[in-house]
Amino acid sequence: MSCLHEMIFEGLCAICGQTVDTGSKDHINMTHNTTGITVSLVEAERLEKQDRERLLKEKKLSLIVDLDQTVLHATWEPNIANWVDEQKAKNSVKDLRTFSLDGSMNKYTIKLRPGLDAFLKEMSKYYEMHVYTMGTRSYANAVAKEIDPDGSLFQDRILTRDENKDKSTTKKYLERLFPSDQSKVVILDDRADVWDYSPHLIQVKPYEFFYGIGDINAPTNSPVIIEDTVNKSPPKQDSIQLEQDHRPNYIPDPNDADDILTVIQKILINIHTQYYQHYEQTNNTATILSQLKSDILKDCHIVFSGVIPLQTKPQDSSIWRMATSFGARCFEDLTGKATHLIAASPGTNKFNTAIRYQHIKIVYPTWLTNSIWHWKKEDETKYLVPHNKREGSNTSEVENPEEAQLDFDDGLGFEWEDDEVDAILMESEDDKSSLKQEQTEEEEDEDEEDEDIEDWLGAELSGSEEGDDVAYGEEHEDEDQDKEEEEDEDDDKEEEKEDDEDLRSQKRIKRVY
């Protein structure tokens, strides 16, 4: 019976000793701390089955833990290391460690995330924990000695970039550790892009203790970081007095009130409970995670303004992906269904449109990120962008200027004051038109009266010139009578004019009030 070469070490079959092609896709590396050992796919499935049955018996799940900016913050800045050594001698700083790597002159300083020791010990009751870092093997081993001195938490389950698939420095691969069955795995990392936004991932808020220093082992494809540049309080004075000559270039966060691990601990325990209580129905951590996340912002319809760079497709941005994974619906343009405008600053076209509608909450990006980091919908009143009712338009926002009007199908946010003003203006226009028509009619009547008088005078003059057979006295009597009648008519017309003027005055008064 020929050997199946189930395990290969440095190109040789570990069973028969025969040389085997190590480039074959039929063999994979699933060990943590070695690169020379590979196993066949059949053997990998057999080993995973063993682990799965063992974890089921122990009622545990698997937790992959990133190091830098997930559970600690590291730096090799020399001044900081010297300052830490001095403060450690005074016993005035907690959870700060310093170490050097073999063969290196660099002195590393790490600050453990608040509550890390208790967090790891508690999680070890529910999860079998693995370290997966983009740091080197020597760096990971040194950090492990600081956070797990006796090796009881991680043992030899530490994977670094030295053993990463294809030696990649930009991606992490779940199948590198769990090639066939990933149903029991949860990932804890501050970066989602390196995992291709895996449904098994819990993305945590990046931990920053030393200002200005990010992840010293960050992948080379560092993403665009969304920073809250507004409403940011200046750091308070540290209670620890730092000597000026040894003061570090990067001032540590004096409060360090980070509580993220407390939040994550509750989530991880909830996932574990859901998994084993409903094992027959839901035995996949990705499904449970998706259900828990989608409830956080399920009633939020979000539009972004000045947050997503112009050259980025909104749907591909990290903040859009994060929001949708937590149940929000995101839109590029404002509509009547929008509930939140996430604005980096006031004055954009979207901002100036949104302030007209009371049901749209205009908040800083930190409202969204803090809701995600803390797994609960934050109170918007703490994050509202201040504004006046009428802001000056500023189209120099990151996104394209928006000109479309809101399509409010349900009439939400309709401003009745505007409608009343329009109605008053329309009434005023109607009154003006009516008055103009009355004036025109009066002018026409006056013209007709003038024409009648001219015709009468013409007739009188014409009659006297023809020399009718009328006595002189009778003629003068008729003239006197005609004059009296004419005066009476003039008096009647004058009264009518006065009545018309009174009527117009009443109308004007009515319009004013």
CATH of the domain at 167: 3.40.50.1000
Give the span between the Cα atoms of 183 and 181, in whole angstroms: 6
Pairing of strands 107-112, 72-75: antiparallel
User: 203 pLDDT exceeds 50?
Assistant: yes
Q: Are 195 and 148 part of one and the same domain? A: yes
Give the span between the Cα atoms of 383 and 381, in whole angstroms: 5
Which CATH number belongs to the domain containing residue 355 in this structure? 3.40.50.10190
Q: Which residue has the higher pLDDT, 14 or 77?
A: 77
Identify the pLDDT of residue 301.
98
Q: How much of the chain exceeds pLDDT 70, in percent? A: 56
CB 66 within 8 A of CB 189: yes
Residues in the chain: 513
Identify which of 4-8, 44-48, 228-232, 446-450 has the greatest average pLDDT: 44-48
DSSP 493-509: HHHHHHHHHHHHHHHHH
CA 365 from chain center: how many Å? 5
| Pick from 225, 232, 201: nearest CA to 63 | 201
Question: Residue 213 belongs to what H/E stretch?
Answer: none
Which one is catalytic: 66, 189, 190, 215? 66
Say whether 68 is catalytic: yes
Q: Which of 109-118, 149-158, 279-288, 424-433 has the lowest mean pLDDT?
A: 424-433
How far are the Cα atoms of 4, 20, 144 from residue 23, in angstroms, in the given order?
Answer: 16, 9, 32
Residues 490, 491, 496, 499, CA torsion sign: positive
Q: Are 437 and 407 part of one and the same domain? A: no
- DSSP assignment, residue 251? P
Report pLDDT digits (tens) over 304-340.
Answer: 999 999 889 999 999 999 999 999 999 999 988 999 9
Residues 210, 211, 213, 214, CA torsion sign: positive
Q: Give domain status of residue 158, yes or no.
A: yes
Query: Could you tell me how many helices (H) and strands (E) the chain has, helices first?
Result: 11, 16
Give the span between the Cα atoms of 157 and 140, in whole angstroms: 11
Q: Give domain status of residue 2, yes or no.
A: yes
User: 427 pLDDT exceeds 50?
Assistant: no
Number of domains in the chain: 4
Q: pLDDT-derived band of residue 416, with 50, 70 and 90 as boundaries?
A: very low
User: 199 pLDDT exceeds 90?
Assistant: yes
- Mean pLDDT over 59-84 rounds to 88
User: 351 pLDDT exceeds 50?
Assistant: yes
Identify the pLDDT of residue 326.
98
Q: Which of 160-169, 280-289, 382-391, 493-502 has the lowest mean pLDDT?
A: 493-502
Q: Give domain status of residue 239, yes or no.
A: no
User: 38 pLDDT exceeds 80?
Assistant: no
Q: Which two tokens stand for residue 219?
A: 């992948």
Give the span between the Cα atoms of 506 and 498, in whole angstroms: 12
Q: Are 400 and 320 part of one and the same domain? A: yes
Q: Are 38 and 168 part of one and the same domain? A: no
Report pLDDT digits (tens) over 3-37.
Answer: 655 555 556 665 565 566 655 555 555 454 555 56
Which one is catalytic: 26, 68, 193, 450? 68
Q: pLDDT-derived band of residue 191, with 50, 70 and 90 as boundaries?
A: very high
Range of 432's domain?
Answer: 417-444+488-513
Identify the pLDDT of residue 248.
44
Q: Report pTM.
A: 0.67
Q: pLDDT-derived band of residue 211, with 50, 70 and 90 as boundaries?
A: confident
Report pLDDT digits (tens) over 470-484.
Answer: 343 444 445 555 556
- Mean pLDDT over 253-279 rounds to 89
How far are the Cα atoms of 242, 445, 448, 507 from residue 434, in angstroms, in the given order?
Answer: 83, 17, 21, 10
CB 185 within 8 A of CB 129: no
User: 240 pLDDT exceeds 60?
Assistant: no
**Count of beta carbons in the 10 Å neighbourhood of residue 13:** 16
Q: Give domain status of residue 478, yes or no.
A: no
CB 254 within 8 A of CB 235: yes
User: 113 pLDDT exceeds 90?
Assistant: yes
Q: Are 2 and 87 part of one and the same domain? A: no
Average pLDDT, the chain: 74
Q: Give domain status of residue 465, yes or no.
A: no
Q: How much of the chain exceeds pLDDT 90, in percent? A: 42
Q: Are 184 and 168 part of one and the same domain? A: yes
- Mean pLDDT over 240-249 rounds to 37
Q: Which residue has the higher pLDDT, 56 or 36?
A: 56
Say whether 258 is catalytic: no
Q: Are 162 and 270 part of one and the same domain? A: yes
Identify the pLDDT of residue 397.
39
Report pLDDT digits (tens) over 218-233.
Answer: 665 555 444 443 333 3
Q: Are 319 and 366 part of one and the same domain? A: yes
Q: Which two tokens stand for residue 20?
A: 């085997």
Give the span between the Cα atoms of 362 and 454, in whole angstroms: 76
| Three-class HEC string of 151-212 | CCCCCCCEECHHHCHHHCCCCCCHHHCCCCCCCCEEEEECCCHHHCCCCCEEECCCCCCECC
- DSSP assignment, residue 216? T
Q: Are 337 and 422 part of one and the same domain? A: no
User: 91 pLDDT exceeds 90?
Assistant: no
Q: Which of 191-200, 297-306, 402-411 has the lowest mean pLDDT?
A: 402-411
Q: Which residue has the higher pLDDT, 444 or 394?
A: 444
Identify the pLDDT of residue 64.
98
Report pLDDT digits (tens) over 362-371.
Answer: 999 999 999 9
Q: Which of 320-324, 373-377, 378-382, 495-499 has the lowest mean pLDDT?
A: 495-499
Identify the pLDDT of residue 387.
81
Q: Are 408 and 492 part of one and the same domain? A: no
